A and B are shown apart, each in its own frame.
Chain A
Amino acid sequence: MVDEQQSPPLLDVQGIAFGYDRQPLLYDVHMQVRRGEMVGLLGPNGSGKTTLLRLISGVLHPQQGTILLEGKDLQTWGRRGIARRVAVVPQELHMPFAFTVEQMVNLGRTPYLNLLGTRTKEDQRIVEHALQAADISPLAGRIFNELSGGERQRVIVALALAQQPALLLLDEPTSHLDIKYQIDVLELVQRLNRETGVTVIAAMHDLNLAARYFPRLLLFQRGVVADATPAEVLEPQLLRRVYGVHVQVGILRGAEYLSVLPPGSDFSANNHQEETQPRVHVMAGGGSGELLMRALADAHIPFSAGALNIGDSDHTLALRLAHEVVTEQPYTHLSPATLEKVRSQLMHAAVLVVCPMPVGPGNLPLLQAAVEAAQRGVKVLLLAPTSEGIPLSSDVHIPGEDSLLQQSGIAARDYTNGEGVKLIGALLQAGASLVSSVGEAVDVTKTCAIL
Chain B
Amino acid sequence: MNRAPTKTVYTPWKSWPATIQTLPASLILIALGVALLAAIFLAVSFGSTSIPIGIIAQILLNSTGVFHFARQWDPATELIVLQLRLPVVIGTGLVGVGLSVAGVLFQGMLRNPLADPYLIGTSSGAALGAAIAFVLPYDTIYGTYFPLTPVLAFVGAMITVLFVYALARVGGQTPVVTLLLAGVVINSVLVAFQTLLLTLSPHALVGLQGLFSWLSGGVAVTTWSPVVIVGSIILVGIAFSLLFSGVLDAFGLGEESAAYLGLHVGGYKLLIIMVGSLLAAAAVSISGLIGFVGLVVPHVIRLLFGPRHRLLIPASALAGAIFLILADLLARVVIAPAVLPVGVFTALVGAPFFLFLLRSNKRAYRW
Tell whether, in the assembled complex, residue A110 and residue B250 are in contact, meaning their CB atoms are under 8 Å apart. Answer: yes
Query: Which of B38-46, B117-125, B139-147, B258-266 contacts the other chain?
Result: B258-266
Q: Which residues of A contact B112 (CB under 8 A)?
A: 96
**Chain B CB within 8 A of A137 CB:** yes
**Chain B CB within 8 A of A146 CB:** yes
Query: Which of B80-88, B222-230, B345-353, B359-367 contacts the other chain?
Result: B359-367
Q: Contact check: which of B111, B262, B365 meets A82 at CB < 8 Å?
A: B262
Tell whether, in the assembled complex, residue A59 and residue B256 are in contact, meaning their CB atoms are under 8 Å apart. Answer: yes
Give the docked Cα–Cα distance between A405 and B307 (Å).
74
**Chain A CB within 8 A of B52 CB:** no
**Chain A CB within 8 A of B245 CB:** yes
* CB-contacts of A69-115 with B (<8 A): 79-84, 86-88, 90, 93-100, 102-103, 107-108, 110-111, 113, 115
**Chain B CB within 8 A of A163 CB:** yes
B310 to chain A, nearest CB (A): 7
A98 to chain B, nearest CB (A): 6
**Chain A CB within 8 A of B79 CB:** no
**Chain B CB within 8 A of A116 CB:** yes
**Chain B CB within 8 A of A264 CB:** no
Give the docked Cα–Cα distance between A57 and B4 (Å).
37
Tell whether, in the assembled complex, residue A94 and residue B366 are in contact, meaning their CB atoms are under 8 Å apart. Answer: yes
Tell whether, in the assembled complex, residue A93 and residue B302 are in contact, meaning their CB atoms are under 8 Å apart. Answer: no
**Chain B CB within 8 A of A46 CB:** no
* CB-contacts of B53-94 with A (<8 A): none
Tell whether, in the assembled complex, residue A108 and residue B261 are in contact, meaning their CB atoms are under 8 Å apart. Answer: yes
In the complex, residue of chain B having the shortest beta-carbon distance to the beta carbon of A162: B261
Tell whether, in the assembled complex, residue A97 and residue B254 are in contact, meaning their CB atoms are under 8 Å apart. Answer: no
Q: Which residues of A contact B307 (CB under 8 A)?
A: 97-99, 103
Q: Which residues of A contact B249 (CB under 8 A)?
A: 99, 103, 107, 110
Q: Which residues of B contact A95 (CB under 8 A)?
A: 252-253
Q: Contact check: which of A94, A100, A115 meets B243 at CB < 8 Å?
A: A115
Q: Which residues of B contact A110 (CB under 8 A)?
A: 246, 249-250, 261-263
Interface 0/1 of A47-61, CB less than 8 Å to B: 000000000010100
Tell whether, in the assembled complex, residue A107 and residue B260 are in contact, meaning their CB atoms are under 8 Å apart. Answer: no
Q: Which residues of A contact B3 (CB under 8 A)?
A: 140-141
**Chain B CB within 8 A of A272 CB:** no
Q: Which residues of A contact B363 (CB under 8 A)?
A: 145
**Chain B CB within 8 A of A138 CB:** yes
Q: Contact check: which of A82, A84, A86, A140 meets B2 at CB < 8 Å?
A: A140
Q: Which residues of B contact A128 (CB under 8 A)?
A: 1
Tell whether, in the assembled complex, residue B302 and residue A88 are in contact, meaning their CB atoms are under 8 Å apart. Answer: no
**Chain B CB within 8 A of A142 CB:** yes
Tell whether, in the assembled complex, residue A87 and residue B254 are in contact, meaning their CB atoms are under 8 Å apart. Answer: no
Tell whether, in the assembled complex, residue A96 and residue B259 are in contact, meaning their CB atoms are under 8 Å apart. Answer: no
Tell whether, in the assembled complex, residue B262 and residue A80 are in contact, meaning their CB atoms are under 8 Å apart. Answer: yes
In the complex, residue of chain B having the shortest beta-carbon distance to the beta carbon of A117: B246
Q: Which residues of B contact A90 (CB under 8 A)?
A: 254, 256-257, 260
**Chain A CB within 8 A of B48 CB:** no
Give the docked Cα–Cα distance between A97 and B5 (Å).
19
Tell whether, in the assembled complex, residue B261 and residue A111 are in contact, meaning their CB atoms are under 8 Å apart. Answer: yes
Q: Which residues of A contact B245 (CB under 8 A)?
A: 117
Q: A98-B307, A110-B263 are in contact. Are A141 and B5 (CB under 8 A)?
A: yes
Q: A96-B112, A117-B245 are in contact. Are A142 and B253 (CB under 8 A)?
A: no
Give the docked Cα–Cα distance between A146 and B6 (Å).
12
Q: Which residues of B contact A163 (CB under 8 A)?
A: 261
Q: Which residues of A contact B2 (CB under 8 A)?
A: 137-138, 140-141
B300 to chain A, nearest CB (A): 13
Tell whether, in the assembled complex, residue A59 and residue B243 are in contact, meaning their CB atoms are under 8 Å apart. Answer: no
**Chain A CB within 8 A of B98 CB:** no
Interface 0/1 of B282-325, CB less than 8 Å to A: 00000000000000000000100011101000000000000000
Tell whether, in the assembled complex, residue A79 and residue B259 are in contact, meaning their CB atoms are under 8 Å apart. Answer: yes
User: Which positions in B face A, CB cutoff 8 Å?
Assistant: 1-6, 8, 111-113, 243, 245-246, 249-250, 252-254, 256-257, 259-264, 302, 306-308, 310, 363-367
- Besides A141-B6, A145-B364, 18 more A-B contacts (Cβ < 8 Å) are A79-B259, A80-B262, A83-B261, A88-B257, A88-B260, A93-B254, A95-B253, A96-B112, A96-B113, A98-B302, A99-B306, A107-B253, A107-B261, A110-B249, A111-B261, A137-B2, A141-B4, A142-B6
The contact sample of 17 A-B pairs, CB cut-off 8 A, is A80-B262, A82-B262, A93-B257, A94-B254, A96-B111, A96-B112, A96-B365, A98-B364, A107-B250, A117-B246, A137-B1, A140-B2, A140-B3, A141-B2, A141-B6, A142-B6, A142-B8
